[in-house]
Chains A and B, each alone.
Chain A
Amino acid sequence: MSTFLFAVVSGILFGVFFSLMAIGLNFAFGVMKIVNLAHGDFVMLGAFGAYYALSTFGINPFETMIMEIVVFLVVGVALYYGIIPRLLRSDDPEMLSLILFFGISQVIEALATLAFGTNPVTLPTNALGQLSFQLFGQAFESSWVISFLVSVVAIGLLYVYLYKTKMGIATRAIMANRDEAAASGIDVNRISAIAFGIALVLAAIAGTLTPFMLGGIYPSVGVNLTITSFSIIVIGSLGNPIGTVVGGLVYGLSLLLMQTYLSSWANMVPYVLLILILLIKPSGLLGKGARNA
């Protein structure tokens, strides 16, 4: 019984972390209707940032996080203006964005391999700080709890941005209908550029936590992280940020339960969940109506 409770509580801790990892992908899709297949590679870059900052300069992951927020925001805005307006004018932006970001993902992976090598790197789990947390008589890794708390704060801030600020409201207007938002005087490109920057920032924050949650980091891990994120947002419903949290929890719980009881099959979890949801309820658990499939 205590094994079960341990798996459930860790599943929730991991689930919220996975929600943070996936929510940027969903946000970019919601605003621009593009599939950022390089999402996991940005998470990977964030993780390597945390690794080098700590192992070379002794900078603690929270300070790295703040630096990465600035860097990734700038990169995201630049990347947006460089490619996306052109992409959105084409016949089939969704499919072309998939191929294009797949190319970007290959470029990032190649550069990361040249810079960091192919061997996995790890960070000591206590580098995030110590925090004792007990529930049902079980002690949980402090890095898991801290990552959980950071994820809750980051997701919370995204909500505050979307629902309480003027720019957030404009973002939601674009999500609802890009053309009508433009017609009512919203600077669609500026708002979308910032949204894309925020999507990458969320990936980077998840990235700085990744070495503590998932262990070894290596350049080609990006593809797996992208698929995991995609599974989570499809489970939740594309374009629905609340859904991503549900998706993350479903994914985290199933992963930890499988690791506890059927560990040799646990690697298959994201793929099986993705296929099941796509085939049974393609609009996702919280989706309304069908997608144009």
Chain B
Amino acid sequence: MRKNKLSNAIILVVLAVLFILTPLLYPNQSVPFQMMAFMTLAQGINLLYGFTGYLPFGYVGFFGSGAYGVSILVLLLHWSVIPAVIGGGLFAVVVALLLSPLLRLSGAYFSIGSLAASEIVYYVVSNPNMQNITQGPYGINLAGIYDPNTSYYAMLVILLIFTAVVMYVKNSTFGMSLLAIKEDPVSAAMAGINVVRRRVAIWLVSAFAAGLVGAVYGWYVSVFYPSSVFDLTISIFAIVFTLFGGGGTVLGPIVGTIVLYGLYNTIGVSSPQYFQLIYGLLIVVLVMFLPQGLTSLLKRRGINVP
């Protein structure tokens, strides 16, 4: 347990130093910003998939809800930025609460059901009839609160918080009970675990992560469209990064995001199809030969992965 605490502290310090230093050394701040955003989203997916086995294809719905939450609070209700960002995250939690009946489904039904749910949120937000509230398809302009530096550090704080949440869940009885539910919900219920309440709890935490990331993302870019913040690619990236690194670990999503998002930035930006081809093949190879992700290579050799 002591050893775990030490390695967790090292991970947090390394992440903080890494993302404080990169903007000083690397001219384009938006690359490390987006890497932090995807890393947090991957940890959010990790909380849900790694500990419960639910794979939410529609995860981007929470991200978009957060971005639109912050814009509604700032533009219509004139809140100041920090409360609006937290409010944006809570918007996503409300959406998640409304969608919590989806947790009654299992496996593929849940994945595709959540995808359909996020498409519904997208079509509602982008509908021209909603112009008074969301500007419909015409996008949001938050130029009044534009502040790339502060929002950069806000994203870093969110990344560190949710990495710490994953660490907590992994080492707590709460996380153990989730793993028990994943293994066999009926036996877990017999052992006195409130299956429904725990599943909903982790679902809301995971949605809150995506909502906060979406809110800070909206703040950072300050101009966005429904099609950009509800882009399915965001879910897909976060899922692939998590699967690649390995769910159920703290390091898996971090390693997955650094490797694959780094790869994306070297080859993907100019020709996204080649990157899509590579990660498509990667998924096929992973499922066939390494379904537990990269970190399982170490675990198999008996090395403890935080």
Bound CA span A26–B123, Å: 27
**Are A105 and B116 touching (Cβ within 8 A)?**
no
Q: In residues 253-291 of chain B, which contact A (Cβ within 8 Å)?
A: 273-274, 276-277, 279-284, 286-288, 291
With A104-B280, A223-B232 in contact, is A98–B117 under 8 Å at CB?
no
Q: A271-B116, A278-B109 are in contact. Are A100 and B123 (CB under 8 A)?
A: no
Across-interface contacts of A271 in B (CB, < 8 A):
116-117, 119-120, 123
Q: How far is the CA of A105 from the CA of B291 in the complex (A)?
A: 18
Digitize B102-121: 1 where CB-to-A-CB distance is under 8 Å, 0 elsewhere: 10111111011101110110
Tell whether, in the assembled complex, residue A110 and residue B276 are in contact, meaning their CB atoms are under 8 Å apart. yes
> In the complex, what residues of A have CB within 8 A of residue B228's CB?
none
**Contacts A95-B53, A227-B116, A268-B120: A293 and B291 contacting too (C-beta < 8 A)?**
no
Q: How far is the CA of A282 from the CA of B105 in the complex (A)?
A: 8
Q: Distance in Å from the Cβ of B292 to the closest Cβ of chain A?
A: 11
Q: In chain B, what residue has the closest Cβ to A293? A: B106
| Alpha-carbon separation in the docked complex, A214 to B240 (Å) | 31
B196–chain A nearest beta-carbon distance, Å: 14
With an 8 A cutoff between CB atoms, is B155 at the interface?
A: no
A residues in contact with B111, CB < 8 Å: 98
The complex places the Cα of A86 from the Cα of B287 at a distance, in Å, of 10
Q: Is the CB of A99 within 8 A of B55?
A: yes
Residues of A within 8 A of B (CB): 35, 83, 86-87, 90, 92, 94-96, 98-100, 102-111, 113-114, 223, 227, 230-231, 234, 264-265, 267-268, 270-272, 274-275, 278-279, 282, 291-293
- Assess the B287–A103 pair: CB atoms within 8 A: yes
The distance in angstroms between the C-alpha atoms of A100 and B279, with both chains bound, is: 11
Residue of B nearest to A118 (CB): B273
Q: How far is the CB of A101 from chain B (nearest CB, A)?
A: 9
Task: Pick from A35, A108, A264, A270: contact of B129, CB below 8 A.
Answer: A264
Contact B109 A96 (CB under 8 A): no
- B60 adjacent to chain A (CB < 8 Å): no
Q: How far is the CA of A245 from the CA of B287 in the complex (A)?
A: 33
A90, B291: Cβ atoms closer than 8 Å: yes
